[in-house]
């Protein structure tokens, strides 16, 4: 039995892959943001400004999370609000726990993360609007019911029958 809230488990393969990607990317994101500053890998340090890194990382996270909601949250507005709230929550928890690992907690990093999530959701919505609809097929209208009256044939063997006069 598949409860109504878990329709994505049986349907859209892309949504399931995005859900898996969201979980893996969240784990990677939290790992990388908790590495002490002297031990940050060089390829991350060369990537650009700290705020830019936050915006890009949470933009990718938001794209994955919004893609994961496709197929089980049909109202995209609700999905966007949920993803943005989740991004703000993950970012706030991330920033609050960083001092335990020798990093600094910054309101501006949090703001850049939320801004990146807004941009990621916007890009994902534009992409979804431009791609063919794959959410749910249009329901087919029910077939018309047959009437109980038997129609009288107007033609017999290809010739039209004349109307009989009525009295």
User: Which tens digit of pLDDT belongs to each residue from 43-101?
Assistant: 666 677 778 888 999 999 999 999 888 766 777 888 899 999 999 999 999 888 888 87
All structural domains of the chain with their residue ranges: 13-130
Mean pLDDT, rounded, of the chain: 77
Beta bridge partners of 159: 156
**Residue 31 clears pLDDT 70, i.e. is over it:** yes
User: What pLDDT, on a 0 to 100 scale, did the predictor assign at position 19?
Assistant: 86
Its pTM stands at: 0.66
Phi, psi of 10, deg, nearest 5:
-105, -15
Taking CA atoms, 68 is separated from 34, 44, 92, 134, in Å, by: 25, 26, 22, 13
Chain centroid offset of residue 137 CA: 17
- The string of DSSP codes covering 32-99 is HHTS-GGGS-HHHHTT--HHHHHHHHHHHHHHHHHHHHTTT---HHHHHHHHHHHHHHHHHHHHHHGG
Distance CA 165, CA 167 (A): 7
| pLDDT score, position 131 | 74
């Amino acid at each position: 039995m598949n409860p109504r809230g878990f329709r994505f488990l049986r349907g859209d393969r892309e949504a399931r892959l995005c859900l898996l990607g969201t979980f893996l990317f969240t784990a990677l994101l939290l790992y990388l943001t908790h590495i002490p500053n002297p031990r940050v890998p060089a390829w991350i340090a060369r990537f650009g400004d700290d705020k830019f890194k936050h915006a890009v990382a949470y933009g990718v996270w938001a794209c994955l999370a919004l893609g994961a909601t496709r197929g089980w949250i049909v109202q995209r507005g609700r999905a966007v609000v949920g993803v943005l709230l989740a991004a703000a929550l993950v970012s706030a928890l991330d920033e609050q726990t960083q001092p335990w690992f020798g990093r600094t907690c910054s309101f501006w990093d949090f703001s850049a993360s939320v801004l990146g999530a807004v941009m990621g959701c916007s890009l994902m919505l534009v992409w979804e609007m431009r791609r063919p609809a794959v959410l749910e097929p249009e329901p087919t209208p029910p077939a018309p019911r047959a009437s109980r009256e038997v129609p009288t044939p107007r033609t017999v063997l290809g010739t039209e029958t004349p109307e009989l006069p009525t009295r």
